[in-house]
Chain A
Amino acid sequence: MTQNNGHPQPAQPAQAAGQASDRADSQAGSQAANNQAANNQAGNRAQAPNGPKSSPLYGILTALGILIFAFLPMILSTLVGRSTPYWLDVVNTVGLYTILALSLNVILGHAGMFHMGHAAFFAIGAYSTAILNLTYGWSIMATMPVATLAAGFVALILAWPIIHLRGDYLLIVTIGIVEIVRIALTNNIFGLTGGSNGLVGIARPSLFGFRITSPKHFFYFIWTVVGLTILLFHWLENSRFGRARKFIKEDTVAAENMGVNTSRYKLMAFVVGAAWAGLAGTIFASRMRTISPETFVFSESVLLFTIVILGGKGSQKGVLLGSFLVIGLPEFFRGFEDKRLLVFGAALVVMMIFRPQGLLPSKQAHYKLPPGWADRLAQLPKPETNGPNGKRPPNGGAPPVAKPQNAPPEENGA
């Protein structure tokens, strides 16, 4: 992706500030609700039993992060003055890649499916928007659901036959898919895609009558979507759906034998990830106003793959960090632009040797027990775990753990 936005107009402070606070509020609002669940301690058990880590530190950091993002354009203009639009652009690109990487994370990180074809779904989303907008005059925001669905639908068709493939084979097939999509786009399939020159003159999105044009506008737009993505996927991960994928990743055979429809969940993970990439494609198309097959090459998939792996697959924080490192960092070392891939390649190798779980690996899921259990557990005699391998000392050395209760437990309906 290129950095040039082509829009040098200065931001209008007053209006933008008004918008900023609106967006910050909505963003802060959703984050605050999340924090409340997070900081839930002994009191409000009516909350969902699963929640993010409930340490106060986490809440403070999140609040701080929100504040920084709410006022980032102002902060930047004091730091870099005239080149604020440029740096906002960089941050926007990071944001867009974050959305993409988070969607890939659903497939690669959570479900553990090797996937190098993500750029293809991004492309489908972008092209759907472009075609609908240019040929049929749809407004950008109206195209967003279509682009999302289109990408998801194509993913469904493509993934169905290949979902059973083993890791490295799946990888190769996904590479093949992204190449086929690119070739189809270049060859002007159905006469709609404008061939290798792509499509030009895509409109800007407008939300409730407000046209999103400048980097500052896009900043709030994109990063709100980032926040939304993080929230939704976080909820998804800590649910029946997310657990199913964890089981599949740990031991697919065991999961199947525990009643998890493994094919269906793998497929769903794939489709959800792909659909979200399509959504990102809409944003991209309306931001760049021009798209061509060159943008959606295999190396883009590689970049996304790198972000997820480096950051720590499965972990949203890791992906965010990875995105900043992979996309943002090279901006600070402008001279090394062309050596970027060199560093990434080496980084991947080094990471795998020394820290394969990524920079910020995902932690164990955190569960809260329903009320009453704390007391029940306290009454049981302390059980013993014997070291990492768990072999009992020979012949009755350890006292037995609590005998099974004599009355069968209540059969709580599910």
Chain B
Amino acid sequence: MYDLNFFLQQLSNGLTRGSIYALIALGYTMVYGVMKLINFAHGELFTLGAYFGYTILVTLGLAGSLGPPMAIGFSMIMVLGLVALAGHLLERVAYRPLRHSDRLAAVVSALGASIFLQNAIMLKWGAQYRAFGADLLPNVVFHIRNFNLPLVRLLVFVAAIVVMAILHAFIHRTRLGLAIRASAIDQGAAKLMGIDVRKVIALVFIIGPALGGLAGLLVGLYYGQINYHMGQMYGLKAFTAAIIGGIGNITGAMVGGLLLGLLEAMGEGYVSVAWKDALTFVVLIMILVFRPTGLLPERVAEKL
């Protein structure tokens, strides 16, 4: 039973899951890098993306009228835009007024925003699980020798990777990307160099949530069902991924996400399903205690 097939199965599963975690983790890491703040509401933005996708595809019936490929493509773009907007609003309401206050206030506000959003989502869409996506994509499965690869899995993975590649290019090849990186290293110095840090913050709160929202949509498509509560678990896990890669490190978030997905899939397959979540948390705690800078080599020297 534990043969190559099984391994490949877990591998592909893990990679796909990991790519989703990576997308969400990017949101955490980008915000943290610039603001040194953990955006607790990020998980809820992820959930929002899923529900927006649901609304577009199912409630509005676009899946039927446009046909799956168009509909999904359209919904991806819409979700990116809508959640980006939501993220921006969140930043203006809950974080911007506290820019000069102490850390605890910002953390509490983030928490409050997270609670508010989660509850708002529940009130708007109900507490029960919503299904979508399962019948949207053709149930095509690729057979490679003995290994089964569902189309959905491949698509989700590819979509995530493509988006991350675009982001990577943006961060490392454009001036705005440079501004973001500079602000992440030293906000003060960036300001002195003429970078408008407020704009950078606003930008980071648009890109990050957008990615998270997209991840939500992908989860809906991949797993077939969503729930108002899912942001919490995914959020925590994605945060773990961001920590693994070194919080603030964008490439790290991508790598960390993939790693975590693989770890989880392997754990699920070879150890036990019930404890897989606990495993993630144990990993998180281990890393925070022993190597809080993440598994990737340190880039910036510690200031004493």
A: residues with CB less than 8 A from B are 112, 114, 161-162, 165, 167-169, 171-173, 175-177, 179-180, 183-184, 186-187, 298, 302, 305-306, 309, 338-342, 344-353, 356
Interface check B234, CB cutoff 8 A: no
18 cross-chain CB contacts under 8 A: A162-B288, A165-B288, A167-B103, A168-B103, A169-B292, A171-B107, A172-B243, A179-B281, A305-B111, A306-B115, A341-B119, A344-B112, A345-B115, A345-B119, A348-B115, A349-B113, A353-B98, A356-B108
Q: How far is the CA of A348 from the CA of B93 in the complex (A)?
A: 12
Contact check: which of A167, A172, A186 meets B239 at CB < 8 Å?
A: A172
Residue of A nearest to B114 (CB): A345
B236 shortest CB reach to chain A, Å: 7
Contact check: which of B111, B232, B282, B284 meets A348 at CB < 8 Å?
A: B111
Q: How far is the CA of A350 from the CA of B105 in the complex (A)?
A: 10
A168 near B289 (CB under 8 angstroms)? no
Contact check: which of A186, A309, A342 meets B116 at CB < 8 Å?
A: A342
A353: B residues at CB distance < 8 A: 97-98, 109
B275 near A349 (CB under 8 angstroms)? no
Q: How far is the CA of A112 from the CA of B232 in the complex (A)?
A: 24
Residue of A nearest to B283 (CB): A176
A305: B residues at CB distance < 8 A: 111
B282 near A352 (CB under 8 angstroms)? no
Q: How many residues of B contact A (CB 8 A)?
A: 42
Q: How far is the CA of A162 from the CA of B286 in the complex (A)?
A: 10
Interface check B57, CB cutoff 8 A: no
A169: B residues at CB distance < 8 A: 288, 292
B: residues with CB less than 8 A from A are 37-38, 93-94, 97-98, 101-109, 111-120, 122-123, 232, 236, 239, 243, 274-275, 277-278, 281-282, 284-285, 288-289, 292
B289: A residues at CB distance < 8 A: 161-162, 165
B236 near A352 (CB under 8 angstroms)? no
Residue of B nearest to A339 (CB): B123
In the A-B complex, list the 3 residue pairs whose CB atoms are closest, starting with the nearest.
Answer: A348-B112, A345-B116, A345-B115
B77 shortest CB reach to chain A, Å: 29
A114 near B275 (CB under 8 angstroms)? no
A179: B residues at CB distance < 8 A: 236, 277-278, 281
B123 near A176 (CB under 8 angstroms)? no
B246 shortest CB reach to chain A, Å: 13
A356: B residues at CB distance < 8 A: 101-102, 104-105, 108
B116: A residues at CB distance < 8 A: 341-342, 344-346, 349
Residue of A nearest to B115 (CB): A345
B275 near A187 (CB under 8 angstroms)? yes
Residue of B nearest to A162 (CB): B289
B277: A residues at CB distance < 8 A: 179, 183
B104 shortest CB reach to chain A, Å: 7
B285 near A167 (CB under 8 angstroms)? no
Residue of B nearest to A309 (CB): B108
Interface SS of B by simple majority: helix
Query: In the complex where A309-B108, A341-B118 touch, is A349 in contact with B232 (Cβ < 8 A)?
Result: no
Which of B101, B108, B112, B119 gathers most chain A CB within 10 Å? B112
Residue of A nearest to B232 (CB): A298
Query: In the complex where A176-B285, A179-B277, A180-B282 touch, is A114 in contact with B107 (Cβ < 8 A)?
Result: yes
A40 shortest CB reach to chain B, Å: 35
B104 near A114 (CB under 8 angstroms)? yes
B148 shortest CB reach to chain A, Å: 30
* Extra pairs beyond A165-B292, A344-B116 (20, CB < 8 Å): A161-B285, A162-B289, A165-B288, A165-B289, A168-B38, A172-B236, A172-B288, A175-B236, A183-B277, A186-B274, A302-B111, A342-B119, A344-B112, A345-B115, A345-B116, A348-B109, A349-B93, A351-B108, A351-B112, A352-B98
B105: A residues at CB distance < 8 A: 352, 356
A338: B residues at CB distance < 8 A: 119, 122-123
A298: B residues at CB distance < 8 A: 232
Contact check: which of A161, A175, A339 meets B119 at CB < 8 Å?
A: A339
B39 shortest CB reach to chain A, Å: 10
Q: How far is the CA of A57 from the CA of B16 in the complex (A)?
A: 65
B100 shortest CB reach to chain A, Å: 11
Residue of A nearest to B107 (CB): A168
Contact check: which of A176, A306, A342 meets B236 at CB < 8 Å?
A: A176
A245 shortest CB reach to chain B, Å: 15
A164 shortest CB reach to chain B, Å: 9
A344 near B115 (CB under 8 angstroms)? yes
B285 near A177 (CB under 8 angstroms)? yes
A349: B residues at CB distance < 8 A: 93-94, 109, 112-113, 116
A346 near B112 (CB under 8 angstroms)? yes
Contact check: which of B38, B108, B120, B284 meets A352 at CB < 8 Å?
A: B108
B119: A residues at CB distance < 8 A: 338-342, 345
A232 shortest CB reach to chain B, Å: 26
A171: B residues at CB distance < 8 A: 38, 107
Residue of B nearest to A179 (CB): B281
Residue of B nearest to A349 (CB): B112
A180 near B278 (CB under 8 angstroms)? yes
Residue of B nearest to A342 (CB): B119
A114: B residues at CB distance < 8 A: 104, 107
Contact check: which of A175, A180, A341, A350 meets B115 at CB < 8 Å?
A: A341
Query: In the complex where A167-B107, A183-B277 touch, is A176 in contact with B284 (Cβ < 8 A)?
Result: yes
